[in-house]
Structure 1
Amino acid sequence: MTGYLGKVAYTEADVIGTSSLNEVGSIWGEMPGRIVSFDPVTQTATVKALYRPNVNGVAVDIPELLEVPVRFPRVGGFVMTYPVKPGDKVNLRPQMRSTESYEGDDGFESSDARMFHISDMQAFLDGGEPVGNPIQNFNSSNMEIRSADGQFAIEMSEDGKFKIRGSEGNVYDLLAQLAELLGAETTTVSGGSSSGIWPLTHQAQFAEIAGKLRAMAL
């Protein structure tokens, strides 16, 4: 706010408005970051914040953030983990209050008056790449857990079909081929009254399994 022109440079409303803007401007929010190093034992990381605040007209680097908790999906007795590597992008999210007590003993009582502070950032593994770097070969039909390029993946459709794309092909296809070959296999018996070509004992069951695998395979 610039204030009114005249004998009085600033009104009370100007002062209050400027103070409010300064207060809001001092609050840290979510921002992208980049992993510098990761400790798999503590699951904390050194993270470089990619936002550069403007100080007196000059963009400055934020010092590296140390011992930032890295949050993996963990619920219902299950955990999804990823090999976190230097250079990986993360989203840094500040906590509402200071979190030392929570990180120490699972209780949440703020140790001081700071709010949404950069000291209380946590790193979430949900990307952080800019819009100009979208996921390549995106599958718009099915859910995937996949490599970055999409070459290898566990894929699932809504109707319960699966595909596991590995370095040697689709696992379900390979299993179906194996069951089909076993279902068609015969054995040759030479000599005596039983000589001839006979089907395997469980040939029908092999064929049934092959059919189920084929039905599930994408």
Structure 2
Amino acid sequence: MPVQLNSQTGSSEQVDETLRRKTSASVRVSTPGIIQSFDAENCTATVQPAISGWGQDSAGNLVSKDLPLLQDCPVIFPRGGGVSITFPLSEGDECLIMFADRGIDFWHQSGGINKAVDDRMHDLSDAFVIPGPTSNPRALKGVSTNSIQIRTDSGAQFIELTQSGSVNITAPIITLNGDVQVNGAVTSTGDMKAGSISVQSHTHTGVQPGNSSTGKPE
């Protein structure tokens, strides 16, 4: 006589749980990763998933296995309306890898709305990279609680917009390329120069010694 399924695999609850676990194991959503290289021209990265997967050894035993390197993964920088925020990526930087619901090949190549290449879903081949998420040893220190900052990891240099509305820049040198227009007063605690002429130490020719002052600038 035929053997009941639950007598082979256990109760219906055990069967459901086994199916659920197998289904969950086949669906990839996101995982931490480590940048191996960055292609700044194409804005893609090669990344190593930082959490191992599972596989079977030659004896059929379940063992931990490193996932393969993921190649040509599009990198997500904040972007929209014709402007972007970018930053350099280096080998060893941590990130978050996200896996698309469907194959992204045609979309990545041409943009627009495309049909899926095949029926693959949540596949290692369809990964996006979001830089930023870090492990505790590499977490940012001294994050401001009252301003938005663009900063170095050390926090020594930064540009910030505070809740009060002021903008502060701290850096060893600030270079502006282009004309500068200031609608308001300019106050300096140090010297200012126009060309080679110092505001604090420049002199005027053709002035006789005495107590009189020069006239107003013309």
TM-score w.r.t. length of structure 2: 0.74
Distance 2:188 2:19 in 1: 70
Distance 2:216 2:63 in 1: 80
Q: Structure 1 unaligned runs (5+)?
A: 1-5, 203-218
Q: Where does residue 62 of structure 1 map in the other structure?
A: 67
Q: Residue 197 of structure 1: SS of its match in structure 2? A: coil
How far off is 1:7 after superposition?
5.7
How far off is 1:54 after superposition?
3.2
Count of paired positions: 191
More helix per residue: 1 or 2?
1
Determine if the alignment matches structure 1 residue 83 to structure 2 residue 88. Answer: yes
Q: Where does residue 215 of structure 1 map in the other structure?
A: none
Determine if the alignment matches structure 1 residue 45 to structure 2 residue 45. Answer: yes
Distance 1:201 1:143 in 2: 41
Q: Residue 128 of structure 1: SS of its match in structure 2? A: coil
Q: Structure 2 unaligned runs (5+)?
A: 1-5, 56-60, 177-185, 193-197
**1:197 counterpart letter in structure 2:** S
Q: Where does residue 128 of structure 2 map in the other structure?
A: 122
Match of 2:212 among 186, 193, 196: 196
1:178-197 to 2 correspondences below 5 Å? 190-191=207-208, 196-197=212-213
Match of 1:108 among 96, 114, 119: 114
Distance 2:166 2:27 in 1: 47
What's the Cα RMSD here? 3.2
Match of 1:176 among 164, 169, 188: 188
How far off is 1:13 after superposition?
5.1
Q: Give the conservation status (yes or no) of the 8 Å contact 2:9–2:15.
A: no
Residues 105 and 168 from structure 1, CA distance in 2 versus in 1: closer, same or farther, beyond 3 angstroms? closer
TM-score w.r.t. length of structure 1: 0.74
Q: Residue 118 of structure 1: SS of its match in structure 2? A: coil
Q: Residue 20 of structure 2: SS of its match in structure 1? A: helix
Distance 1:7 1:75 in 2: 58
How far off is 1:11 after superposition?
4.3
Distance 1:67 1:44 in 2: 5
